[in-house]
């Protein structure tokens, strides 16, 4: 089985690297040529945040889109703001039975991929794994947890081979049927953590050190739960606020993806996270003032960081 990672930053390198280490035929595709060159020349170094141990892996890396030709699986890890572009670019390279799996953050990626690849080839997943990009050819495995995935057409049998490969690579995998509930359950965690860590410039666990930060987390999640219930979404956990606190603790050493975007002056995925809650709430006539304020603040910071004019 050939598995190609499209977007091999921190998370893509983690999954691709571990799959390669377990013996899978893996290609790490990324547009960051320094990262690609470093992997091809010296290997991919994955540092364990808990033990400090470094594992050196030698997967194939490429900046050529044609490197993914004949892949049985594409795992999409690009920023949500680039999903549409990637779907258009890679559509010509997939086979009729290629599975295209999004393990990205936020709401909207599965819909984009389903539009281009069809529900019979599209899968969506969420993961509690955490990773930080340290530099070309180097990442830190900053948090561990289960990964859930489901086919958009409900035919979970199509994911059996991939699930087996991911489990052999050391990941805890659960194949599900409910795509929407899975995505929204992860979305609420992102909503409660990512924007706050970016605006406050702190790692996930540091949010729990401040009473006001915890209160804001609870407010953000409570608003999002209201929207999810109005949409008829069934969450995968009973206590959303406690779950968000627990994830922040388990990934305490991790710099969230949005914080990493701020640090690298890249556009954030706010419109696929808190902004998605605002968008869904408006369609339902629900007020979500805390999410709206944070969304506006992050959008302003995006303009500042990327030196764009408002």
- At a CB cut-off of 8 Å and minimum separation 6, what does 229 contact? none
**Chain centroid, CA 48 distance in Å:** 19
* Active-site entry in 60, 91, 157, 186: 186
Helices and strands (H and E) in the chain: how many: 11, 12
Annotated active-site residue 186? The verdict is yes
Q: β-strands 138-143, 130-135: how paired?
A: antiparallel
**Over 129-188, what HEC string results?**
CEEEEEECCEEEEEECCCEEEEECCCCHHHHHHHHHHHHHCCCCEEECCCHHHHHHHHHH
- Angle (CA) 31 34 36, round 5°: 60
Q: How far apart are CA 8 and CA 29, in angstroms?
A: 6
Catalytic residue positions, numbered: 186
């Amino acid at each position: 089985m050939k598995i190609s990672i499209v977007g091999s930053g921190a998370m893509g390198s983690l999954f691709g690297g571990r799959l390669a280490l377990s013996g899978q035929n893996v290609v790490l595709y990324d547009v960051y040529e320094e990262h690609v060159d470093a992997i091809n020349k010296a290997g991919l170094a994955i540092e364990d945040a808990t033990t400090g141990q470094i594992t050196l892996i030698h997967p194939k890396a490429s900046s050529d889109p044609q490197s993914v030709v004949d892949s049985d699986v594409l795992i999409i890890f690009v920023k949500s703001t680039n999903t549409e572009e990637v779907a258009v670019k890679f559509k010509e390279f997939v086979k009729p039975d290629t599975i295209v799996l999004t393990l990205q953050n936020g709401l909207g990626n599965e819909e984009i991929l389903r539009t281009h690849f069809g529900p019979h080839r599209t899968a969506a997943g969420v993961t509690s794994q955490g990773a930080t990009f340290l530099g070309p050819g180097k990442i830190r495995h900053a948090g561990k947890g289960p990964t859930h995935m489901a086919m958009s057409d409900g035919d979970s049998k199509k994911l059996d081979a991939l699930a087996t490969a991911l489990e052999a690579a050391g990941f805890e995998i659960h194949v599900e049927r409910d795509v929407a509930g899975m995505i929204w359950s992860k979305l609420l965690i992102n909503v409660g953590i990512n924007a706050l860590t970016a605006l406050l410039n702190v790692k996930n666990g540091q949010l729990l050190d401040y009473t006001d930060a915890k209160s804001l987390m609870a407010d953000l999640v409570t608003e999002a739960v209201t929207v999810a219930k109005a949409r008829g979404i069934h969450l995968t956990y009973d206590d959303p606020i406690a779950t968000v606190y627990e994830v922040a603790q388990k990934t305490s050493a991790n710099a969230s993806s949005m914080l990493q975007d701020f640090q690298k002056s890249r556009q954030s995925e706010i419109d696929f996270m808190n902004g998605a809650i605002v968008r869904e709430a408006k369609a339902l006539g629900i007020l979500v003032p805390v999410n709206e304020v944070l969304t506006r603040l992050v959008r302003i910071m995006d303009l500042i960081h990327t030196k764009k004019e408002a």
